[in-house]
């Protein structure tokens, strides 16, 4: 039973309010609000150029918004010093689209990089942790000695994921994790993310175009439309009347993923 002074509703792990992003005269976000709950898997979708990557970059501090506030772990990201920022960065991991591995380093050395940067651990312990992460993401131990150019697309993603997990993060940010994988590889990667999320208690925020992933592992979905965000469960968004959302969740790709529902009136198709 909750103590009298415990909050009944846990505060969001990430909270955005009124985010405005513009490049020159182009307004990409015009008042984006979003709360991410601890322990959930949140998918971010939207048309090409709707600002999904810019949103992710804004949350992790690679892009400063023109207006608005960002809180992560209850701390305001826009007015903290470098030391505070580093401490926060240690609590999340990021997997960029192509894995973004250092090509001149082996897989195990890539995974050791954040440990070198953020901890004082001795080399042999760093190596042990990196090897553990290799196993955690389902790579064979021999993969550790390989260079990124020697890996398949799926292996690169797993290696990038292992590096993102190096510091035992609380939040995992993924930018199109299944892009470029065949359907079986994509489904396996989804399963991996879901099992890691459950076993490690992660909060996962992932940009995806993959309707199978949305249906399989996302608790809620944030849709970028009209420079703002609408968020809901898949079932809620399937009932939404916005033309883009309707087209996305009832179009042929949605039906192929088994989430299109019954064929209703024809709706306009999204650009991507």
Ligand X SMILES: Nc1ncnc2c1ncn2[C@@H]1O[C@H](COP(=O)(O)OP(=O)(O)OP(=O)(O)O)[C@@H](O)[C@H]1O
Residues that bind ligand X (CB under 6 A): 23, 28, 46, 48-54
Torsion of CA 148, 150, 155, 160, to 10 degrees: 0
> Is the CB of 209 or the CB of 250 nearer to ligand X?
209
Q: How far is the CB of 272 from ligand X (least distance, A)?
A: 7
Q: How far is the CB of 253 from ligand X (least distance, A)?
A: 14
Backbone angles phi, psi at 242, to 5 degrees: -60, 130
> Is the CB of 46 or the CB of 114 nearer to ligand X?
46
> Treating both helix axes as pointing N-terminal to C-terminal, what angle do 123-136 and 107-118 enclose, rounded to 10 degrees?
120
Q: Which helix (H) or strand (E) holds 128?
A: helix 123-136
Residue 95 in contact with residue 53, Cβ under 8 Å? no
> Is the CB of 48 or the CB of 262 nearer to ligand X?
48
> Is the CB of 50 or the CB of 203 nearer to ligand X?
50
Q: How far is the CB of 216 from ligand X (least distance, A)?
A: 20
Distance CA 24, CA 27 (A): 8
Q: How far is the CB of 28 from ligand X (least distance, A)?
A: 5
Residue 125 in contact with residue 132, Cβ under 8 Å? no
Coil vs helix vs strand at 24 = coil
Distance CA 161, CA 251 (A): 31
> Is the CB of 54 or the CB of 139 nearer to ligand X?
54
Q: How far is the CB of 49 from ligand X (least distance, A)?
A: 4
Q: How far is the CB of 174 from ligand X (least distance, A)?
A: 13
Cα dist from 102 to 75, 105, 132, 168, 226, whole Å: 31, 6, 20, 20, 36
> Is the CB of 60 or the CB of 143 nearer to ligand X?
60
Nearest to 33 by CA among 61, 71, 7: 71
> Is the CB of 96 or the CB of 147 nearer to ligand X?
96
Q: How far is the CB of 166 from ligand X (least distance, A)?
A: 25
Residue 241 in contact with residue 230, Cβ under 8 Å? no
Q: Which helix (H) or strand (E) holds 103?
A: none
């Amino acid at each position: 039973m909750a103590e009298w002074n415990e909050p009944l509703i846990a505060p969001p792990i990430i909270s955005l309010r009124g985010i405005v992003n513009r490049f020159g005269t182009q307004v990409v976000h015009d008042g984006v609000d979003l709360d991410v709950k601890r322990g959930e898997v949140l998918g971010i979708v939207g048309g090409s150029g709707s600002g999904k990557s810019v949103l992710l970059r804004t949350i992790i501090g690679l892009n400063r918004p023109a207006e608005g506030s960002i809180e992560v772990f209850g701390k305001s990201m826009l007015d903290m010093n470098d030391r505070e920022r580093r401490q926060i960065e240690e609590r999340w991991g990021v997997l960029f689209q192509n894995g973004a591995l250092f090509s001149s380093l082996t897989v195990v050395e890539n995974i050791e990089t954040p440990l070198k940067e953020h901890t004082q651990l001795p080399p042999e312990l760093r190596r042990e942790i990196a090897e553990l992460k290799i196993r955690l993401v389902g790579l064979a131990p021999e993969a550790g000695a390989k260079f990124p150019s020697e890996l398949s697309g799926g292996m690169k993603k797993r290696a990038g994921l292992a590096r993102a997990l190096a510091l035992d993060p609380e939040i995992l940010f993924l930018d199109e994790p299944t892009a470029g994988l065949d359907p079986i590889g994509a489904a396996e990667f989804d399963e991996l993310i879901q099992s890691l999320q459950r076993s490690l208690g992660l909060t996962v925020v992932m940009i995806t175009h993959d309707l199978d992933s949305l249906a399989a592992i996302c608790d809620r979905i944030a849709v970028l439309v009209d420079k703002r965000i609408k968020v809901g469960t898949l079932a809620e968004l399937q009932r939404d009347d916005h033309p883009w959302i309707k087209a996305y969740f009832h179009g042929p790709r949605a039906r192929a993923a088994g989430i299109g529902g019954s064929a209703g009136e024809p709706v306009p198709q999204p650009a991507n």
